[in-house]
Structure 1
Amino acid sequence: MQMGFRWFGEGNDTVTLDQIRQIPGVTGIVWALHDVPAGEEWPMDKIEAVRDQAARAGLNIDVVESVNVHEDIKLGRPSRDGYIANYKRTIEKLAQVGVKVICYNFMPVFDWLRTDLRKELEDGSTALFYEKSKIEDIDPFELVRRINENSALTMPGWEPERLAHLTALFEAYQGVTQEHLWDNLRYFLSEIVPVAERCGIKMAIHPDDPPWPVFGLPRIITSQANLRRFLKLYDSPYNGITLCSGSLGANPDNDIVAMIHEFADRIPFAHIRNVRVYENGDFIETSHRTQDGTVDIAGIVQAYHDIGFTGYARPDHGRHLWGEQCRPGYGLYDRALGIMYLWGLWDGAERRAARERKVAP
């Protein structure tokens, strides 16, 4: 397992590369050009600038998260071919600087959804919180306003310019079904995966967060059955999954351990984090520790060890601790603690495996 840490770039992140390099076992950053709008080709000089910054800190840039997919591609509009052409050229450029994995998602309009960015937990820390009844009742425009007002930094997937045409997007998705979205995803994969194969980059789709429809918008990357269907859309080792235990774990019916074993050879990238799910469907993000949430983090790490996972992982969202002022979900302290917990589980699995090999006849 190769450990990374998501970094949003100088001037857009409270965490520095020097801090990241001091977290034991972290070898790379998980990055993107967040100032490039979805659909545009990434400029080579900006790509190289991030590569050089990371290299000076002794970190790799193997994983990009995310090269965002333009809404016209998801909607299947005639203009999608131009945006797909830009996406292909971006893949080719990223290959030139050694990128190995590109994470992306296919969620209409919004990426992740929460109702409170700093909900207080019992210990006084705060975390991202989803209150199901509020999502069912709230005007999406009010949610956008709330998100943007409560974050001094640009939120991935919530950039103001991306959401400026929210009314038009909602109108465009009227009548778009899950089957339409599957068809448009199939078309996208048929165009980009051959390029990724040629460039030696693995594409890794991120599950929908939360894993169910919101605001009447279809969502399809939500379950083990749907992940199975997704992988069959384009059967290639370069068409893979970013298996996010937090996103999928918001639905207790999802068995993450079973997914790891079934999709073992198609998981180039893993997000490992915990959530506590309540009986009414609300959920809050917790520490990574297994006992603190609903997701079996210990079982998940053991499953990755069992399959001989050599791909990339990151701790994903964290709580806000000790008065840290940071991007919601992306502070330094709790994600660093999370990494050490994950390494502790991994080291324990290594020791058990070594003992079993020693006593085997």
Structure 2
Amino acid sequence: MKMGFRWYGEGNDTVTLDHVRQVPGVETIVWSLHHKQAGEVWEQAEIDAEVARITGLTDAARARGITRTFDADVVESVNVHESIKLGRTVLGMGRDEAIDNYRTTIRRLGRAGVKVVCYNFMPVFDWLRTDLWHPLPDGSTALYFEKAVVDRMTPESLIADMEAGSHGLTLPGWEPERLAGFSELNAAYEGGTHEDMYANYQYFLEAVIPVCEEVDVKLGVHPDDPPFDVFGWPRVVSTHDDLARVLALHPSPHHGLTLCLGSFSANPQADAVAAVRTYMDRIHFSHVRNIKHFPNGDFTEVAHRACEGDVDTVGIMTAYAQAGYTGYIRPDHGRHLWDENTTNKPRPGYGLYDRALGIQYLLGVWDAARHGAR
């Protein structure tokens, strides 16, 4: 198993690579070119420059005695253009053009040594929360989903709320350039069904997976977050059965999962440990985090320790350890701790401290399980 840390790039993250170097156990920087829009080709020079930044060291760092470097094996994400999900031209781009661009980007990432690409197949919006800075009893803040708020608000008001709460940092899945076309997207999805989405998803996989095999880049789809339809738009990667159906769309081992256990477990009936054990050989990348459910359908994100919430993070890491998992794992959304809440507010969910604490907890469970297996 390789432990990763998501980083949004120089000048686009309150956390620096030098900060991450001091977190024990991190080997992989999970990255992306966040200025690129869905459907846009990634240029080889841009990819190579970012990989060099992640895997290299500056002269100043070497002069300070720093020797620790990272790999850049995992990209999160190369976003799928809405024309691919809809199966027709939208936002000025046709499906086949968008797929050709995606294949070009995959080839270029393969040349740069990337091993895994995360993506999602959610219509219109990516992840969805109603409060980005919800106060917890310990004084920290975290992402929060309030069902009643979603039930009464419009997509347009949600877009405005997300923008207001971002503190000026980019929010993947909520790019203003894409959401500027919201009215067109909303109309395009009118009457769309889950079967339509599965058919368009299979078309995408049949076109892209041969390129993934050619350059040995694995695709891992991220579950819907939250794992149910929102605003009437069909989501197709939500439940245990959905995961099985999605994997059956293409038999190649290069088609697999980015199994985000927090997103998956936002359904209180979901069994995260069973999902890990069932799909182990198709999990290329995994996000491990914890959430706490409330009887009215709300949920909040909490610390990674299992007893803090309702996700069995101990069972998850034990299952990975017992199987000798060799893929990539990262902590997911953390709470915002200490001075992050006042002086250096990070991107929602992506501060330094709680993710660093989470890594130590997850690695502790891993180490204990691996030690017990000997």
Query: For this structure pair, what is the TM-score category when the shorter chain's length is used for normalisation?
Result: over 0.9
Alignment-derived partner of residue 39 in structure 2: 39
Q: Which amino acid aligns with 1:41?
A: V
What does residue range 11-26 of structure 1 map to in structure 2 within 5 Å?
A: 11-26=11-26
Q: Percent identity?
A: 55
Q: Does 1:227 align with 2:243?
A: yes
Q: Does 1:120 align with 2:135?
A: yes
Using the alignment, how far apart are the partners of 2:28 and 2:313 within structure 1?
Answer: 22
What does residue range 151-166 of structure 1 map to in structure 2 within 5 Å?
A: 151=166, 152-166=168-182
Alignment-derived partner of residue 3 in structure 1: 3
Please identify runs of 4+ aligned residues in structure 1 that moved more than 4 A.
none
Q: Does 1:345 align with 2:356?
A: no
Q: Quote the offset at 1:21 in angstroms.
A: 1.4
Using the alignment, how far apart are the partners of 1:113 and 1:172 within structure 2?
Answer: 20
Q: Does 1:130 align with 2:145?
A: yes
Q: What SS is found at the alignment partner of 1:162?
A: helix
Match of 2:346 among 326, 329, 335: 326
Query: Structure 1, residues 131-150: CA drift from partner, whole Å, max 9, x if none?
Result: 01111110111111111111
Contact 2:110 2:216 in 1 (8 A): yes
Using the alignment, how far apart are the partners of 2:39 and 2:123 within structure 1?
Answer: 14
Query: Structure 1, residues 303-357: CA drift from partner, whole Å, max 9, x if none?
Result: 1112210100000110000021111000000000000000110111012112xxx
Contact 2:322 2:370 in 1 (8 A): no
Normalising by structure 2, what TM-score?
A: 0.94
Using the alignment, how far apart are the partners of 2:234 and 2:30 within structure 1?
Answer: 28
Using the alignment, how far apart are the partners of 1:12 and 1:163 within structure 2?
Answer: 20
Using the alignment, how far apart are the partners of 1:234 and 1:55 within structure 2?
Answer: 33
Q: Which amino acid aligns with 2:73?
A: D
Alignment-derived partner of residue 74 in structure 2: 63
Q: Does 1:82 align with 2:94?
A: no
Q: Does 1:110 align with 2:121?
A: no
Q: Does 1:294 align with 2:305?
A: no
Using the alignment, how far apart are the partners of 2:302 and 2:37 within structure 1?
Answer: 31
Using the alignment, how far apart are the partners of 2:280 and 2:163 within structure 1?
Answer: 38
Using the alignment, how far apart are the partners of 1:162 and 1:12 within structure 2?
Answer: 19
Query: Structure 1, residues 222-268: CA drift from partner, whole Å, max 9, x if none?
Result: 11111001111001110000111100011111111111111111001
Q: What SS is found at the alignment partner of 1:318?
A: coil
Using the alignment, how far apart are the partners of 1:120 and 1:323 within structure 2?
Answer: 14
Contact 2:213 2:254 in 1 (8 A): yes
Q: Could you say what the CA RMSD is over the residues aligned between the two structures, in angstroms? A: 0.8
Contact 2:223 2:263 in 1 (8 A): yes
Using the alignment, how far apart are the partners of 2:332 and 2:301 within structure 1?
Answer: 10
Using the alignment, how far apart are the partners of 1:187 and 1:10 within structure 2?
Answer: 36
Query: Structure 1, residues 183-213: CA drift from partner, whole Å, max 9, x if none?
Result: 0000000000111011101100000000000
What does residue range 167-182 of structure 1 map to in structure 2 within 5 Å?
A: 167-182=183-198
Query: Structure 1, residues 268-295: CA drift from partner, whole Å, max 9, x if none?
Result: 1000000001111100000000000110
Alignment-derived partner of residue 64 in structure 2: none
Q: Structure 2: any 5+ residue segments left out of the alignment?
A: 58-68
Q: Quote the offset at 1:162 in angstroms.
A: 1.2
Contact 2:322 2:373 in 1 (8 A): no
Q: Quote the offset at 1:219 in angstroms.
A: 0.5
Alignment-derived partner of residue 62 in structure 2: none
Q: What SS is found at the alignment partner of 2:338?
A: coil
Match of 1:208 among 224, 238, 245: 224
Q: Which amino acid aligns with 1:74?
A: K
Match of 1:146 among 158, 161, 164: 161
